[in-house]
Amino acid sequence: MTDTIDYRSFLSRLDPTWPYLVHRGGRYYPDRPACTRVDWGECAFIGNGMIGASIYKKSATGLCFELGRNDAEAHNFLKGVDWCVPRIPIGDLVLTAGYSAATPAGTTEQMRLGLYDAEATGATETPAGNISWRAFADAVRDVLMLVVTYPKTMTASARPQVSLHPAHGVSPRLEWVSPEVADAATPLPPKPVLTTTGDITLSVQELVNDAGAISGECAVALRAMKGSQHDVLDNFQRDRYLLSIQHSRENGVARKAARAAVDDAVTMGLAALEDEHRAWWHSWWRRSFLSLSDTRWEAFYHIQLYKLASATRGEMDEVIDNQGVWLTDSAWPGTWWNLNVQLAYSPLCKANRVDLARSLANTIHRYEEQMRQNAAPVTPDGMYMGRSSGRECTHNSLPAREAIQQGIEGIFELGNFTWIAKLLHDQYRYTMDRHYLAETVYPVLRAAVEVPRALLERGADGKLHLPRTTSPEYPTPGDPARSTFCPAHDTSYDLALLRWGLTTLLDAEHELGITDAHSALWKECLRDLTPYCLDENGLMVARGLPFAVSHRHYSHLFALYPLQLCDLEDAAERAVAETSFRHWMGLRGALQGYSYTGGAAMAALLGEGNFALECLNGLREVLLPNTMYTEGGGPVIETPLSGAESLHCMLVHTIKNTLRVFPAIPDAFRDVEFASLLAEGAFEVSGKRSNGVNQWVLVKSLAGTPLRVMPNLPGTVLAHGARFFSLKPDGNGAFLIDLKQGEEVLLYGRAAAGTGDEPPQTTVAPVPSEKQYENFYGAIKPGMGAQALLPLTRAGNNPQQ
């Protein structure tokens, strides 16, 4: 396949832009108890997996870089305040122009987020002269660089200034509880200490443990390089600032590490630092390619890939949490394990970035002992994560097995960790790395399954049943005190995940050629596990609990998606799946953004491309201008990320070991070109659709897995490759192809009129864009959804003023 793509040119049409950068202030849904600042929904954002910044106008004269570090969290738990050990704010880096509170007439400001270089840039035109800046979080080192350029002739009072403003590193949840509770919360850490020595400014936030003793710190080092010879241009001065954020659980360590990081960057050389950063990102973009005739969704997709590479790294051992490296005011400053983590990681395999997803497994390895302690009251062989946690996965312990079986009240989402294990298994399926299956996937999945298995009880019907657990986060009808849980027996969520887990463990045994001591027990459980509870609307939430009220989470539909346990080629099972799906989507009152991304994926699995896009367009209505998202007023990042996976499902997915290409393309996507998307079985897949007709599909085998493919091409399907490939029809438009490791085969359709059997050229390129939607995201622009436009009515300030 030929790749002649000019990635810089292609991505530049997708860059988020802010033609008029204004300070707006205010919050989305200010009447709600956990509401997001408008700044977060309209900021530019940079990150390298560990550190990052959200960039927005903080005042009429100040540009704010709100700082974040992935692992910076409190070292204590505030009972009555925190749901889990929380992330903590770090503070702001502020670029201030040299004018006072009132913006001078004739002053304009702009901003752009350059995806290809992973760099934010901006410019301020003032009567005193023009100021420009650019900033990036270095891709390889925990250093943020800011470069500010302005005329040498600018007066001292008008010149831009950069300063560090540390925040008090306390739980963000203190803002969302009553003043009485907040005032009584102890222990709190001391306020940060800010010092300046020479060209280094250092902020140190000491942190306290539950006993109130100092037990570590978070530190920020800022080094200013102004007016040195190599930073002076002919008519302009260029000031550079290097910043590093470090966190440690030992006293005095983070401050030394922060200082060392900026010093090492200077020693390396700033030009080399920039080259290293850009080389990483340019390589990242070339891992796969996708272009759509819908420019807004094309831009959205690539912004999500940018977010993912900004939010994690494969070598890290911290999971992507609710806000990633862009922590802001939030009532949910932690890690939620009943959907948020799973959705955040969902696009990485098909996007051919499996290595980036390894941070999830690394997190499990790092905190395995704590996860085992969480499960210990039920079984010594299990691992468990409840609804939410801090970085160290504490405050998640289950009660005793007997207490759960006897119906003790609580929020027990037993399937959460099995869903996490499925993500690890996906990483295996997309690479076919048997070592990873044996050393990581199998032991984690075994431990995940042991918790619900240990709680099974045999009923009078001879079947094995689960005790009262919780289907996330289905409410108890008519009980506001139980608005996010409704304990019930045999929840479809837990049954589906247990059934999938047992089946997958037995399959893994076969693949690895081993027999586990529990193998016979797993087979018995799988044989005797009670079936799902059904009614006239399809899958119920649990035994005796129909799906009767609108609910955002599709937990009761896991047998359909993401587990794909339903046989959609069986008429009866397909009818149940379709009925269940339509009933859930039909009760719209409580649906949220991730309801629409999940709905789009389900519609794609059912082969309904137009309905998949209709569902996905529901997400567009609730996206914020920069593609960030607020759930019920709170800032979270996973939902837009899962929208990228929904797009994948329309292009490529695997059902029952059959690779389906173009399985659910909506009519609106008349032109589609993609390259090197990854599919289960370790196949790289490329394809082209032009003027509403699928043209060709190219499949490369990375592991030699048997290939059954449904290419969805018109007319007679032909094959071409370096050798002769026989296409063996296998029903329903599928073919068996003997594709060996390292080989690739081109599939194309012979038109009914026929123009010969010559294979087409397999060149991919960007499809023509919709010019009116180029650089669509960033600031508020015409055509955005209702939620993006809320600040115009709730917080005022027309962006064109």
Residue-wise pLDDT for 110-150, tens only, equals 999 999 999 999 999 888 889 999 999 999 999 999 999 99
Q: Interior CA angle at 74 toward 68 and 77, to 5°? A: 145
Residue 572 has pLDDT above 70, yes or no: yes
- pTM, two decimal places: 0.96
Instruction: Give pLDDT tens digits for 222-253.
Output: 999 986 544 556 789 999 999 999 999 999 99
Tokens (6 digits) for 279: 């080389």
- Kindly report the CA angle at 400 between 398 and 403, in degrees rounded to 5? 110
- Mean pLDDT for 7-26 is 93
Q: How far apart are CA 150 and CA 163, in angstroms?
A: 17
Can you give the pLDDT at residue 477? Answer: 86
Is residue 99 pLDDT above 70, yes or no? Answer: no
CA gap 281, 278 in Å, rounded:
5
Query: According to the model, what pLDDT value does residue 744 have?
Result: 98
Please name which of 509, 486, 501 lies closest in space to residue 559, comparing C-alpha atoms: 501
pLDDT score for 560: 98
Q: Is the CB of residue 243 less than 8 Å from the CB of residue 228? A: no
Q: Give 35's pLDDT tier (boundaries 50, 70, 90).
A: confident
Give 105's pLDDT tier (boundaries 50, 70, 90).
low
Name the region of 29 (left: φ>0; alpha: ψ -120 to 50; beta: rest).
Answer: left
Provide, rounded to the nearest whole percent, the portion of the chain with pLDDT above 90: 85
CA distance 90 to 254: 13
pLDDT band at residue 101 using 50, 70 and 90 as cut-offs: very low
Q: Which domains does the chain have, with CATH numbers?
A: 43-286 (2.70.98.50)
Q: Which two tokens stand for residue 740?
A: 């060996």
pLDDT at 633: 66
Phi and psi, residue 31, nearest 5°: -85, -5
**Upstream peptide bond of 452 is cis (omega within 30 degrees of 0):** no
Lowest mean pLDDT among 141-155, 438-452, 742-756: 742-756
* Mean pLDDT for all residues in the chain: 94
| DSSP 8-class letter at 422 | H
Degrees (nearest 5) of the Cα angle 573, 574, 575? 90
Per the CB < 8 A criterion, the answer to whether 540 and 533 are in contact is yes
Residue 641 has a CB neighbour count (10 Å cut-off) of: 27
Write phi, then psi, for 690 (nearest 5 degrees).
-135, 130
Residues near 513 by Cβ (< 8 Å), separated by ≥ 6? none
Residue 796 has pLDDT above 50, yes or no: no
Q: What is the pLDDT of residue 24?
A: 81
Q: For residue 564, is pLDDT > 90?
A: yes
Tell whether the model's pLDDT for residue 501 goes beyond 60.
yes
What is the H or E stretch that residue 402 is in?
Answer: helix 401-405
Non-local (6+) Cβ contacts of 235 within 8 A are: 151, 152, 153
Mean pLDDT over 487-513 rounds to 98
pLDDT (average), residues 180-191: 94
Lowest mean pLDDT among 67-71, 628-632, 788-792: 788-792
> Residue 800: pLDDT above 90?
no
Amino acid sitting at position 337: W
Strand order in the sheet with 44-47: 44-47, 51-57, 62-69, 91-96, 161-166
Contacts of 325 (CB under 8 A, 6+ apart): 47, 48, 49, 50, 51, 52, 68, 69, 70, 137, 310, 311
Distance CA 590, CA 587 (A): 8
Instruction: Name the CA dihedral angle for 413, 417, 420, 422, rounded to a multiple of 10 degrees.
Output: -100
Neighbours of 381 (CB within 10 A): 17
Model pLDDT, residue 801:
25
For residue 449 the two structure tokens come to: 């399954």
pLDDT band at 799 (very low <50, low <70, confident <90, very high): very low
Which residue is associated with the tokens 């200082």? Answer: 259
